Amino acid sequence: MAPVSTPFIRQLGADDVGHFRKLLDLFGDVFEDRDTYSGAQPDDAYLKRLLGGNAFVALAAMRDGATVGGLAAYELMKFEQARSEFYIYDLAVAAEHRRQGIATALIAKLKDIAQSRGAYVIYVQADLVDDPAIALYTKLGIREDVLHFDIPVP
């Protein structure tokens, strides 16, 4: 069996709309929700603004030219102190590339970005039934049991 090549973790910017669309498709496949992630994607101008701004970070794990994993996070500027925190909104690795350290590498890259921006913490949510995610995040951080509420906007 040939050794698996190490993925390259790349931060996507305003000129990477095509790569970001591949990442959206990957999220849709992994989360089995292709309609949400690929059914009504924003236009290129919107994605250029999103990827070119400071509040959003998109990371792609590339292996042999293919997008095999990715992470989407938001930087939240705090009001009580001059610092920020990062929220991992989505993290996914294609099924055939799991258990190879890709998710951990994506989070490590985000940690580097967060540190360079003066953040003090990265946080993420996991569904109670998602044992692999819970195991990963337990390995990397401190578990807090909280309640999550969605408040509809009319």
Average pLDDT (43-63) is 96
Does residue 147 form part of some domain?
no
Does 148 map to a domain? no
> Residue 146 falls within a domain, yes or no?
no
Structural domain boundaries, residue 89: 8-140
Give domain status of residue 115, yes or no: yes
Residue 1: inside a domain, yes or no?
A: no
For residue 49, give the CATH number of its domain: 3.40.630.30
Block residue for tokens 């951990």? 104
The per-residue pLDDT for 29 is 95
Three-state SS sequence of 59-118: EEEEECCEEEEEEEEEEEECCCCCCEEEEEEEEEECHHHCCCCHHHHHHHHHHHHHHHCC
Per-residue pLDDT, 56: 97
Determine phi and psi for 62, rounding to 5 degrees.
Answer: -110, 135
**Does 6 have pLDDT greater than 80?**
no
Asked whether residue 54 is domain-assigned, the answer is: yes
Please check the confidence at residue 38 and state whether its pLDDT lies above 60.
Answer: yes
How many domains are there within the chain? 1
pLDDT for the residue numbered 153:
81
pTM: 0.87
> Does residue 141 carry a pLDDT above 60?
yes
CA distance 63 to 8: 6
* Residue 149 within any structural domain of the chain: no
In a domain, 76, yes or no: yes
Instruction: Output DSSP code: residue 8.
Output: E
Q: Does 145 score more than 80 pLDDT? A: no
